[in-house]
Amino acid sequence: MNNDNSVLKKILTLRDNQWMEIEDPVVMEAPVTLILNGKELVTLLCTPEKIDRLALGFLRSEGFINTIDDLSMIRVKEDGLVDLELKSDSEAIEKLYGKRTITSGCGKGTVFFNVLDSLQSSPLEGKLQVEAAAITRLSKELQSHSELFKRTGGVHSAALADQNEIIFFFEDIGRHNAVDKLVGECLLGRVTMEDKFFILSGRITSEILLKAARLKTELIVSRAAPTALSIELAEKMNITLVGFARGQRMNIYTHQWRVLKEHS
């Protein structure tokens, strides 16, 4: 393993009608299992870097914790396990069971719709505005940051930015993991997220939208496509969605007032 999250593999490659044996860099992937209050919560398949951020971000994105102070312990072990202890476990455990147990699935009572309903009932109220030129510039920067992608073609990247610069940047084989690592970094450093925005390489699906809504992130910029459902959720939750932010182009799908249009 290189210390850059890639590993060289001997492969057979076909180029210009010729078969060659070469060594090619491949992105690392490893299972990381979160143990919450002594019980197995989930196994995430991820790029094995900044595991503590991933664990913290996952707990925050999924609603188990709000700040790092909600935890009494986090310990990353060598075998891919992360031990996490909540200070007060009753509420979190309840949420845990609310999410993980097999509920009766009658009518609109599914877990997904419960989550959806609760988030839709309180749209974001922030007034963040960002210049279109900044979105264009920072989206290009995201791409140039992405060394691991250039080497391996196998990862997504996610950044937290403000109007001026990219503040944190992570890469991971999973779109969600990259965002969760950002979130974990913010928790650790007690950095506020409400006044900043996401720039993502991957597609925007409803799950990313729900994550952003929980984190009160008002603006999501992606170099890729959104889904129709993510647009509908963004509309309802007062989140601005920008897609296909590539080169000098971008599409604004919702709440376009957050993007200042004086673009040069």
For residue 180, give the 3-state DSSP assignment.
Answer: helix
Please name the residues in contact with 122: beta carbons below 8 A apart, sequence gap of 6 or more: none
186 is catalytic: no
Sole binder of its own copies in the list 129, 153, 165, 189 (CB under 8 A):
153
Amino acid at 91: E
- Regarding 144 and contact with its own copies (CB under 8 A), the answer is no
For its own copies, what does the binding mask look like between residues 197 and 236, x meaning CB under 8 A?
A: ------x-xxx----------------xxxxxxxx-----
With contacts defined by CB under 8 A, name the span among 6-14, 118-126, 157-165, 181-189 that binds its own copies. Answer: 6-14
User: Closest approach of Cβ 229 to its own copies, in Å?
Assistant: 4
For residue 142, give the 3-state DSSP assignment.
Answer: helix
For residues 46 and 154, give the distance between their C-alpha atoms in angstroms, rounded to a whole number: 11
Q: What is the largest CA-CA distance in the chain?
A: 63
Long-range CB contacts for residues 19-26, cutoff 8 Å, separation at least 24: 25/151, 25/152, 26/152, 26/154
Please name the residues in contact with 54: beta carbons below 8 A apart, sequence gap of 6 or more: 32, 44, 46, 172, 177, 180, 181, 184
Task: Enter the tokens of residue 159.
Answer: 């950044």
Name the catalytic one among 18, 106, 125, 228: 106
# chain residues binding its own copies, by CB under 8 A: 68
User: Closest approach of Cβ 248 to its own copies, in Å?
Assistant: 7
- Residues from 75 through 114 that contact its own copies (CB under 8 A): 79, 81, 96, 100, 102-105, 107-108, 110-113
- Regarding 252 and contact with its own copies (CB under 8 A), the answer is yes
Number of neighbours of residue 77 by Cβ within 10 angstroms: 11
Task: Note the residues at the interface with its own copies (CB under 8 A).
Answer: 6-7, 9, 11-17, 19, 24, 26-31, 33, 35, 38-41, 43, 45, 79, 81, 96, 100, 102-105, 107-108, 110-113, 132, 152-154, 173, 203, 205-207, 224-231, 244, 248-253, 256, 261, 263-264
Residues carrying an active site annotation: 106
